[in-house]
């Protein structure tokens, strides 16, 4: 009797050695992912990975997604070495009171990756932190090999060159990325809002920047040191005085802070707010001091609670971000309040770009989440426009001249006479000049009338009014741009950077428009430029 071939093969086959079952591909093109996991996203192996790097947080994810895959912070817990169990022995770092008051700068140093002043920054230690940060992000969250996919970095255009060089050197030397694309944060924030032109106000950690964009191009950028770092330090001093029982009007003798960083950050996230403008909320301002809120005690936040007047929690925002009570003449160019910073940035723009940008103001950054702050900034900017107009000339003589013109206008209206026309400098025209309104016949522009009839169905863009536009953030804008498969203006190749570093970039002040298909400039395929980072 013959044995079936399949049975004979089974009987004679040798047992195989133990092995790991083959896992499905990460591309997501499996029947399980498509049928039982409707919320999963399909990703190809050649999809780019986008990193948004700031002084406090790192956001990472894959292109095409609306939100980052993970948000990683910097702090003592993320910098612990192997065998360091202080996080379990002493509890969570930064929640309890400190053994003794520390300086405000030393208080925040362990929670930020870098500082704008690089004179006190150890670049070697910074490179090690960057290497550990990227390695753990790939291994714990992204679950893919570093260097196998395209890398896109979203960075502020005001990043110092030594810091940018350290970042690129670490990534190119420790991983085999073929190229790295740089995208400016301000432009990506405007792109995520669906705008081509905007005024992006980034209330970040170390500084606040206001960037004027026109057709995706940065025209002007101004910055101020009044940001969330100074605000949190001011709140730390306030909570330290409350813990010691001092009166809030009494100035502390030293600059020490005795409360934990994490505790202070939790308070500013949950309770910080901004008061409305005085003439808009005087009655509300009278009612607020009577209200109190219950917050964890600065001395024992795990068990005790204290009552704090709600108006006290708005003092750090008023003092730092809005510079309330400080004359403008005493502020340096890098210490302007946020409303003054926004106004000066609009004043530096050309008139046509100014009318477009002031109607598309985008607030981003951690400070933009403070309740009432964005509305207060727009109110203060509107007040500055009504007071000074769009003239950069200041002084008592100009104020007296404007007052005389206003008095002349009021007196003419009171007497029923039409005020005489005056020039910008307040002078009346000569008698021989024609001032009869009947002789001033407006000219008819037939071309404008024809264009108006043809384009009457096209909506007129909003210009010349202060208006805020919401944005999804710089990371979402970078994800949208990268998913279009367009090469950026700044695409740094590995071999060229390792040979010359940042010195190998060309210094073109006005780089030409890139080709839409290749992203390279016409007739130039060997050089690269830093564009906005130059």
- State pLDDT tens for residues 343-364: 999 999 999 999 999 999 999 9
Residues 278-289: pLDDT tens digits? 765 454 555 556
What total of structural domains would you count in the chain? 1
- Is residue 380 domain-resident? yes
Query: What is 171-240 written as a DSSP string?
Result: HHHHS--SEEEEEEHHHHHHHHTT-SSEEEEEE-SS-EEEEEEETTEEEEEEEES-SHHHHHHHHHHHHH
- pLDDT tens for 126-147 read 999 999 999 999 999 999 888 8
Q: Compute CA distances 38 → 41, 42, 67, whole Å.
A: 8, 10, 17
* pLDDT, position 533: 81
Instruction: Tell me the backbone φ, ψ of residue 475, rounded to 5 degrees.
Output: -65, -40
Lowest mean per-residue pLDDT among 31-40, 147-156, 397-406: 31-40
pLDDT-based confidence at residue 57 (cuts at 50, 70, 90): very high
- Is the pLDDT assigned to residue 462 strictly greater than 50? yes
Q: Please check whether residue 183 lies inside any domain of the structure.
A: no
Judge whether 42 lies within some domain. Answer: no
> Which range in 155-164, 466-475, 479-488, 517-526 is most confidently predicted, on average pLDDT?
466-475
Q: Could you give the CA distance from residue 308 to residue 311 in angstroms, rounded to a whole number? A: 9
Distance of CA 467 to the CA centre of its chain: 18
Tell me whether residue 24 is in a domain: no
Predicted pLDDT of residue 391: 86
Alpha carbons 310 and 275: distance in angstroms, whole number: 11
Q: Which of 22, 29, 60 is nearest to 43 (CA)?
A: 29
* 337 belongs to a structural domain: yes
Determine the angle formed by the axes of helices 373-388 and 338-348, rounding to 10 degrees: 50
Is residue 379 included in any domain, yes or no? yes
For residue 211, give the CATH number of its domain: 3.30.420.40
Q: Are 2 and 8 in contact (CB under 8 A)?
A: no
Asked, for residue 389, whether it belongs to a domain, the answer is yes
Q: Which of 53-67, 247-261, 263-277, 297-311 has the lowest mean pLDDT?
A: 247-261
pLDDT of residue 519: 41
Q: Look at residue 374 and tell me whether its pLDDT is greater than 50.
A: yes
Boundaries of domain holding 357:
194-226+333-410+463-469
Burial of 88 per CB tally in 10 Å (0-12, 13-18, 19+):
exposed
Quick check: is 485 in a domain?
Answer: no
Q: What is the pLDDT of residue 138?
A: 94
Residue 79 vs residue 464, higher pLDDT: 464
Residue 12 in this model has a pLDDT that exceeds 70: no
Task: For residue 397, give every residue at least 6 positions away whose Cβ sits within 8 Å of its Cβ, in sequence order, or none.
Answer: none
């Amino acid at each position: 009797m013959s044995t079936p071939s399949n049975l004979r093969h089974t009987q004679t086959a040798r047992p195989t050695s133990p092995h790991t079952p083959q896992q499905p591909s990460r591309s997501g093109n499996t029947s399980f992912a498509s049928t039982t996991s409707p919320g999963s996203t399909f990703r190809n192996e050649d999809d780019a990975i986008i990193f948004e790097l700031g002084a406090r947080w790192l956001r990472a994810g894959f292109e095409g997604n609306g939100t980052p895959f993970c948000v990683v912070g910097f702090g003592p817990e993320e910098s612990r070495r192997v065998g360091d169990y202080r996080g379990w022995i002493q509890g969570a770092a930064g929640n309890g009171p400190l053994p003794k008051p520390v300086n405000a700068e030393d208080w925040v140093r362990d929670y930020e990756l870098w500082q704008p002043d690089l004179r006190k920054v150890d670049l070697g230690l910074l490179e090690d932190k960057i290497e550990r940060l990227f390695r753990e992000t790939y291994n714990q969250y992204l679950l893919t090999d570093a260097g196998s996919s395209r890398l896109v970095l979203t960075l502020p255009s005001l990043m110092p060159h030594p810091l940018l060089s350290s970042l690129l050197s670490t990534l190119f030397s420790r991983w085999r990325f073929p190229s790295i694309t740089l995208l400016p944060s301000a432009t990506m924030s405007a792109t995520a809002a669906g705008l081509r032109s905007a005024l992006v106000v980034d209330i970040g950690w170390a500084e606040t920047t206001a960037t004027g964009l026109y057709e995706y191009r940065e025209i002007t950028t101004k910055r101020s040191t009044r940001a969330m770092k100074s605000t949190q330090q001011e709140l730390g001093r306030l909570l330290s005085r409350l813990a010691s029982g001092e009166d809030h009007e009494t100035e502390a003798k030293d600059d020490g802070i005795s409360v934990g960083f994490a505790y202070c950050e939790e308070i500013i996230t949950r309770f910080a707010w901004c008061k409305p403008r005085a003439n808009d909320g005087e009655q509300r301002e009278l009612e607020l001091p009577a209200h109190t809120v219950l917050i964890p005690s600065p001395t024992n936040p795990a068990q005790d609670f204290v009552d704090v007047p709600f108006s006290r929690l708005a003092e750090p925002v008023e003092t730092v971000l809005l510079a309330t009570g400080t004359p403008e003449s005493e502020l340096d160019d890098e210490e302007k309040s946020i409303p003054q910073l926004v106004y000066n940035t609009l004043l530096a723009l050309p008139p046509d770009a100014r009318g477009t940008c002031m109607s598309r103001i985008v607030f981003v950054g951690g400070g933009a989440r403070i309740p009432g702050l964005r509305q207060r900034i727009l109110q203060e900017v509107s007040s500055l426009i009504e007071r000074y107009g769009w003239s950069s000339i200041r002084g008592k003589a100009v104020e007296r001249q404007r007052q005389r013109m206003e008095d002349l206008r009021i007196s003419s209206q009171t007497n029923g006479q039409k005020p005489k026309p005056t020039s910008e400098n307040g002078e009346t025209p000569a008698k021989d000049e024609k001032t009869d309104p009947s002789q001033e016949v407006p000219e008819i522009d037939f071309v404008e009338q024809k264009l108006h009839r043809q384009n009457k169905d096209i909506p007129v863009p909003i210009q010349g009014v202060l208006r805020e536009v919401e944005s999804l953030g710089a990371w979402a804008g970078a994800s949208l741009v990268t998913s279009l498969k367009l090469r950026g203006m700044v695409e740094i190749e590995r071999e060229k950077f390792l040979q010359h570093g940042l010195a190998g970039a060309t210094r073109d002040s006005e780089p030409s428009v890139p080709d839409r298909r290749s992203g390279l400039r016409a007739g130039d395929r060997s050089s690269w430029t830093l564009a906005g980072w130059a």
